[in-house]
Amino acid sequence: MEKKTQSIAVLGMGCAACSANVERCLRGLGGIADASVSLSTRTATVTYDPDIITLDQMKEAVGNIGYDLVIETDRDIEAEERRAFRTLVGRMFLSWGFALLTMALSMGWIDCGADRNQTMLLLALANILLCGRQFYISAWRQVCHGSANMDTLVTLSTATAFLFSTFNTFFGDAVWTSRGMEWHTYFDAAVMIISFVLTGKVLEERAKKGTASAIRSLMELAPKKALRVDGDELVETPLAALQRGDVIEVRQGGKIPVDGTVLSGDTLIDESMITGESAGVSHGVGDRVLAGTLVSKGVLRFRAEQVGSDTLLANMIAMVEQAQRSKAPVEHIVDRIALFFVPAVAAVAVLTALLWVAIGGISQLPHAILSAVSVLIIACPCAMGLATPMAMMVGIGKAAEKNILVKDATALELMRKVDAIVIDKTGTLTMPSALTAGAQAAHEQLKPHAREAVEMLQRQGISLHLMSGDSAEAVATVAHEAGVDSYRSQVKPQDKEDLVRHLQSSGHCVAMVGDGVNDAQALATADVSIAMGMGTDVAMEVAQVTLVGTDLRRLSDAVDLSRKTVRMVRQNLFWAFVYNIVCIPLAAGVLYPVCHFQISPMWASALMAMSSVSVVMNSLRLKWA
C-alpha cells in the first residue's frame, strides 16, 4: 500500500519541548516516514505506511508520553478545547484564591498564631493538588520516557520550594535554630509560581485565538444552509447535504454556497473575496459562480458543480491550514534547541545551588535552594518555541486576507529574498483575449493595476523578466505598456526554465509567476513559484503561492508581508533568547554579591509567564498592521 499523509490534532501540548517530544516520539515509530508537529496549530502531520503502523498505535505511543492524538472522527475538538480553556480559567482563579490567603498569612495580615506555617502548608498542598496537579502528572510522564518540558521546570521549582518549607516547618528549630541560624518557609513562592504560570497560559491561549482569525473569516464566507430547488418548492438544506447537480436559488443579499454554473437570472455578484474588487460583476446564464461570493442584486438559480471540499473556497481554507501547520527552516533549529533546553536549565539550577553552598557554607543553603528555584522557573522554552510559528501563522493568515494563499511557511520565508521575477504574459500579466476572424495575437489588455504592480515591485528592488510564446511585436507592446524592460518572445517552456536557472546561477533569488501548463517547468524550478488563482490546476498544484483573482499588486504585498513576517520572527527569537540569557543569571544571583539584587521565585514566575504572552502579542502586530 502507498504511504499516506495525514494531519492529526494533538491535545496537551504547552511549549516547544512538548511539540519536539511528540515529533521525536512519532519519528521513532516504525512505519512512519516523516512527522512534523506544530505547536501553534496543535497538529501532527504524519507520512506513514498503513501496512506497518496504524493510527491507533500512534495514538497509544503519543498517549504514553502524556499527549492525546485525536484520531476519532466523531470527536468535537473545538468543544473539547473550549472546555479545557474553561477548566484552565477556573484553576487559575482558584489558585489565586489560595495565593492571596497564603500571602496574607506570610505577610502577617491574618494572624493565626503558632499554626501559621502549618496553615500555609495545607493551603500550598491544596493548591498543588487542585490547581497544579497537571504539571506534576505531565512531568512524571516525561521523566518516565526520558524527556522533559516546561511542566518539568514548574514541578521541580514548586516541589523544591514546598518540600524545603515543609522540612523547615517541622524541623527548622532542631536543625537551624540550634545552630544559631534563622530559617523561613516559602509556601507563598510555591503557590504564586503556579498562579502566575496558569495566568500566563490563560493569556497565551486568549492571544492565540487571534492568530486563527483568518481561517475563521474564510469559513464564515460560506452560508451554513442553502435553498435547494425541489420541483416547485424551495427546501432549506444544510451545506453538507448538497450534491453535484442540485439546483440552488440565491436571492439578493444572500451568499452563494457552492461553486456552479448559472441556469437563470441576471444578477450582480460581489466577488471581492476572489478579486479584491468590491464593485459588483454582472452574471448571466452560463457564467460560473463561486462559493462565498455575495449576490448584491437580483435572484439567480445555478447548478451545483463543486461541493464540499471541492469548492475554490474550501481549497483556499485547506491551503491556509496546511501552510499554518508547516514549519519554516528556522523553526526546526529551535525545536532541536528545545529538546536540550530543559535538561540544561535543570543542570544550571543544580550548579547554582552547589556554588552558593560552596561559597557561603551550610548557612547559605536556604538562599541556595531559592536561587535554584528561581532559575528553574524563570527559564522559558515556551517563548522560544512560539517565536517562529506564531509569527508565521499570523503572516500566512494576513496573506490569506489579501487573497495571497501560501502553501508552506518556507515560501513565506523565502519571498523576502526574491530580487528577480520571471512572469508569463497571457493570463498572468494580461487578460486572455478572444481570437476572432482568424486574427492571430489580437491585442491583449493589461490586467487592472498591472503597471502599478510592476512599479511597486521595481521600487522594492526586484527586476522583472517577461516571457511569452507570442510574437515579438505583441510581447514588446505589452512590455512597453507594463513598464517591463526585459522581455523575450516566441519562447518554449524549456526556455522559461532556462532563464530561471540562468538568473539563479547569477546569484538571484528567483520567483516565477504563471498560470498555464506551459509554465509548470519554470514554476517547479524557481526558488518561489507563484500561480494565478484563476489559472490552470497544474500551475496551482506546482506553485508554493497562489494569487487569488487578477490583482497583480498582491505580488508586491506578498514580498512586503514576507519581509515583515521574517522581521517579526527575528524580533521574537532575539527577545526570547535575550530574555533567557539575561534573566537566568539574575535569577541565579550573579549580582547579589555586588548589590544584593536577585530575582525572587515569585517574580521569576511572573516574568516567565509574560515572556510567552509577549511573543504572541508581538506576532499579532502583523495582524493589526
pLDDT score of 571? 92
Cβ atoms of residues 478 and 425 within 8 Å: yes
Measured in residues, the chain has a length of: 625
Q: What is the band of 312 on the pLDDT scale with cuts at 50, 70, 90? A: confident
- Of 6, 47, 2, 7, the C-alpha closest to 27 is 47
pLDDT at 534 over 70: no
What pLDDT score was predicted for residue 92? 95
Q: Is the pLDDT of residue 435 over 60?
A: no
pLDDT at residue number 430: 87
pLDDT of residue 443: 66
Question: Quick one: average pLDDT of 526-535?
Answer: 80
Full DSSP string of 73-137: TT--HHHHHHHHHHHHHHHHHHHHHHHHHHHHHHTTSS--GGGHHHHHHHHHHHHHHHTSHHHHH
| pLDDT, tens only, 464-523 | 999 988 889 989 999 999 999 999 999 998 999 999 999 999 999 999 998 767 788 888
Strands 4-11 and 68-70: antiparallel
Asked if the model's pLDDT at residue 401 lies above 70, the reply is yes
Please check the confidence at residue 460 and state whether its pLDDT lies above 90.
Answer: yes
Given a contact cutoff of 8 angstroms between Cβ atoms, the answer to whether 136 and 193 are in contact is: no
* pLDDT at position 464: 95
| Mean pLDDT, rounded, for 389-416 | 87
What number is the average pLDDT over the span 42-54? 92
Q: What is the DSSP track for 153-172? A: HHHHHHHHHHHHHHHHHHHH
Taking residues 370-381, what's their average pLDDT? 87
How confident is the model at residue 256, as a pLDDT? 92
Rounded Cα distance, 292 and 273, in Å: 7
Could you give the residue numbers annotated as active site?
Answer: 424
pLDDT tens per residue, range 183-213: 888 898 889 889 988 988 888 788 777 666 6
Residue-wise pLDDT for 280-300, tens only, equals 788 889 998 988 888 988 999
pTM value is 0.76
Q: What is the pLDDT of residues 548-582, one digit of tens each?
A: 878 899 999 999 999 999 999 999 989 888 888 99
pLDDT at 59: 95
The grid cell for 186 is 516559602
Candidate from 77-91, 198-212, 247-261 with smallest mean pLDDT = 198-212
